[in-house]
Amino acid sequence: MRDKAGWIGAGLLLAALALTGCSGDDEQAAAAAPIRLQLTGTAHAASGHAMPGKIDPQDGRWQRKGQTALYGEPGQPALLKIACRNGMVEAVRNVPSDKGAKAMLSFVGYRGVLRLPVDNNGARWAGALPADDRNWIALTGGPFYATVAGGGKVIFPASSVLGDLVEGCKPQAPQAPVAA
């Protein structure tokens, strides 16, 4: 990797030196022209393969089922599932990958960013954090988007369903007995 970076740096230096020898109108034309470098050994995205999942499904909506909030189109697998389990909020993004793979499921909202470490079981990415983690505000403070390896970017509308779920999942402090 270090050798490639050196070759790229050398190529950029040669291009800059070539431009310094220009003068007049030719100099302006050369400065505006794109510089093309051949980067050998780089991987290109496979052509003809569509990005998995739908981005911004028009029929998508949030649904609450007990301690779970689901987002997706009716009759289709959920694009995102948020569930409360024993004071932990779990996020599940239904995107297949290599079994045992690890990644970050990133949520970016108006009021924050949450980078959730996730594992893939071959069919979905899943990870959890305590419900009282302040970074859940990325999902509960308005619209947000989520992105994970191989899953593209999905934009989710704001919903009080998520805020209610996360808030209700936080551990409750024991109440002091009221003196009579």
Q: What is the pLDDT along the chain (180 residues), one digit of tens a residue?
A: 445 555 555 555 445 545 455 445 555 555 555 544 444 443 333 333 333 444 567 788 999 999 999 999 988 999 999 999 999 999 999 999 999 999 999 999 988 999 999 999 999 999 999 999 999 999 998 889 999 998 889 999 889 999 999 999 998 866 666 665
8 Å CB contact between 162 and 139: yes
- pLDDT value at residue 142: 87
Give ∠ CA 149-128-106 in degrees, rounded to 5.
Answer: 35
Amino acid letter for position 133: D
8 Å CB contact between 71 and 53: no
Give ∠ CA 61-165-91 in degrees, rounded to 5.
Answer: 70
Q: String of b and e for 1-17 (b: at least 16 CB within 10 Å)?
A: eeeeeeeeeeeeeeeee
Name the pTM for this structure.
0.66
- Closest by CA to 140, choosing from 111, 169, 119, 118, is 111
- CA count, 13 A, side-chain hemisphere, 74: 1
- pLDDT value at residue 166: 96
Amino acid letter for position 166: V
Extended beta strands in the chain, E state = 61-65, 68-72, 80-85, 88-93, 102-109, 112-120, 125-130, 144-147, 153-156
Cα dist. 98→10, 60, 121, 134 in Å? 37, 27, 7, 30
